[in-house]
A and B are shown apart, each in its own frame.
Chain A
Amino acid sequence: MGYIKHFMDVYIHGKNQKPQPKSRGFLSKSLSENIEFFKREFGKTADLSIKYLNIQDVPSAFITIGGMVDKNTLTNSVIFPIVQAKIEGSTNKEKYEYIRDNIVAACDQLQVSNYDDAFNMIMSGFALFAMDGCDCMLSLGVQGFSFRSISEPSSEVMQRGSREGFVEPLMINMTLIRRRLKSTDLKFELTQIGSVSKTSVCLCYLDGKVSKEILSKVREKLSQVNLESIMESGYIIPYLEDQGDFSLFSGVGMTERPDTVCGKISEGRIAVLIDGTPNALIVPYLFVEYFQHLDDYAMHPYFATFTRWLKYAAFLLSTLLPGLYVGISTFNPEILPGPILSKIALAVGTTPFSLMLETILIHLIYEIMREAGLRIPRPLGHAVSIVGALVIGETAVSSGLIGGPTLMVVALTAISSYVIPNLYEPISILKFAFIVVGGLLGIWGIMILFTVVLVNICSKNSYGVPFTSPLAPFNIFAMRDVLVRSGWSFLAKKRIRVQDLPGSEVRDKNDRR
């Protein structure tokens, strides 16, 4: 009953919701008038299903959307008991109330009295029971649409731990979180965005941990979403970011794992779940979190620390290596050891393009292949791999079009970028920028651009918390989970909430229960 009540609060009574632009009015006492209105509003849609019944000589109807209700449940738990029952009451209204209070076995049921509410309910998979002579309808929770079963998220695979990932229906995702955090402090706050799609969006947080200021900012930002439809969580990311703060790096995190969400909200963060998408958005999200993975906490601390440093190195390698390769080989070859230098010189001497152009070309070809690999049907994926390996890996080098060292650098860069998949987007853009600057201005240009990127990252705030915190502004205690991954005994000593990090502008830091 809790969910439906919450659902009704939001959808029917308009709590946390912008005012509806136009109301369709109240339901009529006449069943035929109501049915006519439904037919008129829905037009020639094929999925509107109306089942007429005569219940003790009273014209009645069940209104549903085909495919969204479980027909067995509707028949066995609702229609059959109503038809079989001996209904008491002299007037139609009394009969309706008797059915509502004594017969219908569906646990989720609510009465609606206007068309807007009625439309919202049936489009959310509810069945509407209407009787002639009643100016209200009974909405019954008999949803039965099919959805993908819970499975391991392909983009966030873990060596140890849970194999459960989010799915598309919002309610199931909420239960996945609730099952892991059996606390009354865990709150789900439903709202609706998208003027046409009316997508359900749920804010998930731990009361007592979350900052009220950050929470109200998130609510405010969500209320400013002016899209017609939200088909994917990525649609609302720009609205959750700080405005006018151009950066390649996002201050909104994304995960497909309920356990990750639980970990994040335990530190005072807020998760935003969107109906129809298996991703949860997390705010505030800091730069160091891109390098933290749930697996780190399942492994031994020494190994988790090692893998964390590998991730930092992989990030730098994937961003800077191609640029440094071009810059150093072109302008500062003396830095390179003799044997490597001679190999590069030989390759450059035998290929037709300049080193910068060659590196850009191979990176572009690699990106095209990657994009093709993502989009084409799976059975064709092998063909792309073969073409890539043979055409680029073998033929291009042996025909003297591409140098071997360049190919090696591109391969190393590509593999390194897969270590931190969440940072793939900024890395892929930055590496091109570094190649161009390295090819034009050498390592001096690369150093300047690197500092510019650093300033860009450092200038960013995520909901009043510095994006680079706790590195800058520095906090030695928070380093236990940044530069190293300390053991659980040390991590459990004091849980740092995101709003408590140094440099945070959040005012209600000490608002603990």
Chain B
Amino acid sequence: MEKRPCISVGQMFAMLFVSRMVVTMTYGTLLIGDSDIWDHLISAGISFILTFLLVLPIYKLFKMDNKMNVFDNLRDLMGKYGYIFILIYVVYYLVVTLHTLTIFDNFISNAINPPISISLLSIFLLLSSCYGAYKGLEALSRTSTFIIVATVCSLIFLSISLFSSIETINFKPLMYNGYESVAEGTLYMISQSSCIVAMGLLLPMACGSKLRGIIIWNIGVYLSFALVIMLVVGTMGDFADTQLFPVYTAASIGKFGSFRHLDSLYLGIWICGIFLKTSLFLLLASEGVKKIWGEKIRRRFILGFSVILSISTFFIGNFSLLRGTFITEFLFFFLIFNVVIIPLVLIFLKKRKLSKEEKIFES
């Protein structure tokens, strides 16, 4: 039997938390449209509960056999047809990687517009992510230990720096303009919960109490989301709704003692998070490729995919399909398919298989 990397639950959820923080920090009108940010506080609460519900099928499947991940189950229970579903997962991971790169591209070109070649920067990020994916899960999980410390410290620092600028008048009544914003916010937050799909592969590789990890991770993710919303709205009010990346804008106006321009701090954490997320999802996609075609192809896949994406980075910023509300809805349905429908089918097949085996054993 092949040797599987073993990481701790803490490392696994550190990785997933950092990946999720990328979403929190790039949250803005580019992806949520004209939605009211303040109403997303309720969306965060709803998403918190929904995330627990969405994790259940994956968790249940894992509990039925804690040594098998989703790919193993697909191959074991569906035979050759399982490969088709593995391929669907691979496509999902690649779409998430591409989507993350698009956000990166858009953020750099729209929010910062630096005097450097954005395509060159994207290629550099992509090649670095490929290196991360090539180095494997253990390397990424250990790296996330360092990044999460920096992320949490920076988040605390940013919160302190913005706390003095909060104006209570900016907190208007919730759902003042109806419930559409709440629905849009919830859809956005759930659609960005790609970490749940990642759990399907990662849970069997982690050692420790997974349930406790899931609970702490979920609380951490939505608590930080709620905190960010409160800080952004509290400091900028309605102005936040007009910003492409309101968290970045808030960071750039924050000051703490003699510290100014905290947007650079924001950029630092965000880039580390982007790197980790793209590396992780590329690695997960390559795991699927390995399952179907073997280890040799997996390495070629990482290399080949990096080359293809490097070329596509010249056009990636213009891919309207990868940004806006369309991708939110697309990712939402894709996610539901991967974390609810497939795992439920697998649970059903597994139970049937087990009952058959029991009958054989009894007879």
List A residues at the B interface (Cβ < 8 Å): 331-332, 334-335, 437, 440-445, 447-452, 454-456, 458-459, 466, 468, 471-474, 502-503
Contacts and interface: CB of A to CB of B under 8 A. Distances in A.
Contacts of A448: 124-125, 128, 271, 275
The 6 residue pairs across chains A and B that have the minimum distance between CB atoms: A459-B139, A472-B145, A458-B142, A472-B142, A459-B135, A447-B271
B51 interface: no
B329 interface: no
B121 A444 contact: yes
Interface in B75-124: 108, 114-116, 120-121, 124
A363 B14 CA distance: 38
B264 A468 contact: no
A444 B145 contact: no
B145 A474 contact: yes
A449 B128 contact: yes
B132 interface: yes
B132 A452 contact: yes
A447 B121 contact: no
Contacts of A454: 143, 146-147
Contacts of A444: 108, 114, 116, 121, 267, 271
* Secondary structure of the B contact surface, majority rule: helix
A440 B124 CA distance: 11
A422 to B, nearest CB: 21
Contacts of A335: 261, 264
A471 B145 CA distance: 8
Interface string B265-284: 00110011001100100000
B245 to A, nearest CB: 15
Nearest to B276: A451
A451 B128 contact: yes
Nearest to B144: A472
Contacts of B8: 473, 502
B136 interface: yes
Contacts of A447: 267-268, 271-272
Given A331-B115, A443-B264, A447-B268, A472 B128 contact: no
B3 to A, nearest CB: 9
A448 B136 CA distance: 17
Contacts of B322: none
23 contacts: A331-B114, A335-B264, A441-B120, A444-B271, A447-B268, A447-B272, A448-B124, A448-B125, A449-B128, A451-B132, A451-B143, A451-B275, A455-B131, A458-B135, A458-B142, A458-B143, A466-B142, A468-B142, A472-B142, A473-B8, A473-B145, A474-B145, A503-B138
Contacts of B146: 454, 458, 471-472
A26 to B, nearest CB: 50
A449 B116 CA distance: 16
Nearest to A502: B8
A332 B7 CA distance: 38
Contacts of A440: 116, 120
A441 B116 contact: yes
B42 interface: no
Contacts of B125: 448
Interface residues of B, number: 35
B139 A442 contact: no
Given A334-B261, A466-B142, A472-B11, A443 B268 contact: yes
Contacts of A334: 261
Contact of B121 (A445, A451, A458, A472): A445
Contacts of B264: 332, 335, 443
A144 B124 CA distance: 61
A129 B276 CA distance: 70
Given A440-B120, A441-B120, A448-B124, A455 B132 contact: yes
Contacts of B136: 459
A253 to B, nearest CB: 20
Nearest to B11: A473
A472 B114 contact: no
B10 interface: yes
Contacts of B267: 443-444, 447
Given A334-B261, A441-B121, 11 more contacts: A331-B115, A444-B108, A444-B121, A445-B124, A449-B128, A455-B135, A459-B135, A471-B146, A472-B142, A503-B138, A503-B142
B77 to A, nearest CB: 32
B23 interface: no
Contact of B10 (A332, A452, A474): A474
B140 interface: yes
A335 B258 CA distance: 12
B138 A459 contact: yes
A456 B140 CA distance: 10
Interface in B1-33: 7-8, 10-11
Nearest to B268: A447
B116 A331 contact: yes
Nearest to B132: A455
A207 B268 CA distance: 47
Nearest to B135: A459
Nearest to A437: B124
A451 B147 contact: yes
A466 B146 CA distance: 14
A120 B276 CA distance: 57
Interface in B238-292: 261, 264, 267-268, 271-272, 275-276, 279
